[in-house]
Amino acid sequence: MNAIISNFLAAILTLSAAAGSAMTSIRSAQNGDEWKNNTGVIDLDTMTVTGGGVAVDGNVIKITDGGDFNVSGTLSDGMIYVNSNEKVKLRLSGASITNSSGPAVFFDNAEKAFITITEGTENYLSDGKTYSTEDADAALFSNDDLEIKGDGSLNITANYKHGIAGDDDVSIENGIITVNSYEHGIKANDTLSVTGGNITVTSETGKGMKSDLEVVIDDGTLNVTSKQSEGIESKGTLTINGGDVTVNAADDGINTGNASSDTAQEGNFVPRDEAGKNADGQRGMRGNMSTPPDGMTPPDGNVLQNGELTPPDGNIPQNGEMTPPDGEMPHGGHMMNGDTPINGNMPQGGGQRGMMMDEETAAAHAITINGGKVSVSAEGDGIDSNGSLVINGGTVIVDGPSSSGNGPLDAEAGISMNGGTVITASSAGMLQMPTAAKGINSLQVFFDGTQNSTTSVSVKEKSTGKELASITPTKNFQAFLFASSELKTGTEYVVYINGAEYQTFTASEGVSTVGSASFGGFGGKGMGGRRGGNV
């Protein structure tokens, strides 16, 4: 009798489990997650696979059905190729894939592509210097949305072009990710988002991180190096809400709106519409202009001389600078911001560059910093927006540039500061000051001569010795900028150089200035002539 009851109960449990599995499958189907039911294993050491819609074709693992596949082992010359109408997840669990003639992982088609880095594992992806296919251009490439997450490590070496690239969105949630790339480190055609993880990117010739639509960084630790180009670039908008972001760049550190069609490439004139925009909807003309096509005459009958536009009043640019109509040179001996001084005075409040830009264009290429810590070392502009630059919170530290042809902060539509802290050490020629909300004061210090790199600058409250700001640049500099609500009107502060007292000042409401800018700057380009203010 007991045996009968035992068998009966076992049968009930079996039926219950089957029913539960069936219900799970039904719910998955209802939620569009039935692909998760197809689980498989890909063993690269033995080139064996399990699961539906996955097969071995020579040195290529081909996946044609949606599913969740665990990948381990070493594939010395081959790839994982995905061509499915469903979602596909690859769980990298100690996988090493090298492909001498293409990407290591290629999502040619998928409803969505997932890479999960299994906790505690090291994974490696590497491609060759030439590709046999023109449909991919990265060691990890997806034609569709790509999501990367996990608690393991993923190391990518990109010898052909990019490390990670997606034709749609690329999102990184977490993981320890290291990318060494020939061109762009991480590239998305749409949104590039980072919500966590520890990401290190080194690019030899391209951008460290790049998006054609927007970059959003919510959290995580990012170390981005570009040896020949911009560090982080978005052709649209760029938003930093948190995290610890460090950028080292040979050109601009963080940049928006830098579309190639917005540049006078190789001396060619880039035509604009009546609103002054190019085909990308961007405003402004960068670079020298040669003779316009079809004999186009510049506005107001101005003549192009040596690639430069002669001012309408006949004043000739001297040494790259514009002489004001009244013949007076502004303070410091150079035009800043493109603004004409009134009675020889510089416009106060700074950040007035680009006031003619419409709000839509300014917003379309805006850089917004809401929080986190942003540290930039750049030879070009530190943070360069071809729209607006808005700082609402966080800490922004810019080391460089040393060339007077660039500035630590640069925004076509001006800089607005509503919170946070800004500290920069740079050349003095292109210093653009933020327009700050009430309660946020700024200090600008101009040194008599060039200060050598590794020279520390700090600001302390005189009565308490409390340090408000400190920076030890890696580049030569001549100007120091500090802006924060911690700088109180009417309070005495001391500027220190290498720990020694340099000068005491009482903070003014708005901008306090120590020293004065001198004409010529350093770095071989002379003082600015197109941006800045309040110097």
What is the per-residue pLDDT for 258? 74
Which residues lie across from 74 on neighbouring strands?
96
Which residues lie across from 407 on neighbouring strands?
none
Residue pair 158/181 in contact (Cβ under 8 Å)? The answer is yes
Handedness of CA 131, 136, 138, 142 (dihedral sign): negative
What is the per-residue pLDDT for 413? 96
List the alpha helices (DSSP H) in 31-83. Answer: none
Strands 39-43 and 48-49 turn out to be antiparallel
What is the per-residue pLDDT for 516? 86
What is the per-residue pLDDT for 518? 60
What is the per-residue pLDDT for 377? 98
Interatomic CA distance for residues 193 and 216, integer angstroms: 5
Handedness of CA 513, 385, 234, 207 (dihedral sign): negative
Interatomic CA distance for residues 389 and 396, integer angstroms: 12
What is the per-residue pLDDT for 404? 87
Ordered DSSP codes for 76-139: SS-EEEEE-SS-EEEEEEEEEEE-TTS-SEEEEE-SSEEEEE-TT-EEEEE--SS-S-SS--EE
Backbone angles phi, psi at 230, to 5 degrees: -75, 155
Peptide bond preceding 401 in cis form (omega within 30 of 0): yes
- Which two tokens mark 335? 């035009």
124 closest CA partner among 223, 208, 44, 221: 44
What is the per-residue pLDDT for 3? 56
Residue pair 226/356 in contact (Cβ under 8 Å)? The answer is no
Residue pair 484/415 in contact (Cβ under 8 Å)? The answer is no
- Mean pLDDT of each 10-residue bin along the chain, 535 residues long: 54 49 45 90 98 98 98 98 98 98 98 98 97 96 98 98 98 98 98 98 98 98 98 98 98 85 31 34 33 36 37 40 36 32 31 65 96 98 98 98 94 97 96 95 96 97 98 97 98 98 97 78 32 31
Burial of 31 (0-12, 13-18, 19+ CB in 10 A): exposed
Residue 179: which H helix or E strand, with range? strand 176-181
What is the per-residue pLDDT for 114? 98
Interatomic CA distance for residues 280 and 26, integer angstroms: 47
Backbone angles phi, psi at 25, to 5 degrees: -65, -40
What is the per-residue pLDDT for 9? 52
- Which two tokens mark 426? 């740079």
Residue 43: which H helix or E strand, with range? strand 39-43
Q: Which residues contact 463 (CB under 8 A, 6 or more apart)?
A: 491, 492
**What strands, in cross-sheet order, belong to the sheet with 138-142?**
54-57, 60-63, 79-83, 105-109, 138-142, 162-166, 186-188, 209-211, 232-234, 254-256, 383-385, 409-411
Q: How many residues does the chain have?
A: 535
CB atoms near residue 241 (< 10 Å): 17
Interatomic CA distance for residues 234 and 211, integer angstroms: 5
Q: What is the DSSP letter of 286?
A: B
Every domain of the chain and the residues it spans: 38-256, 263-317, 359-514
What is the per-residue pLDDT for 10? 54
pTM confidence score: 0.78
What is the per-residue pLDDT for 357? 86
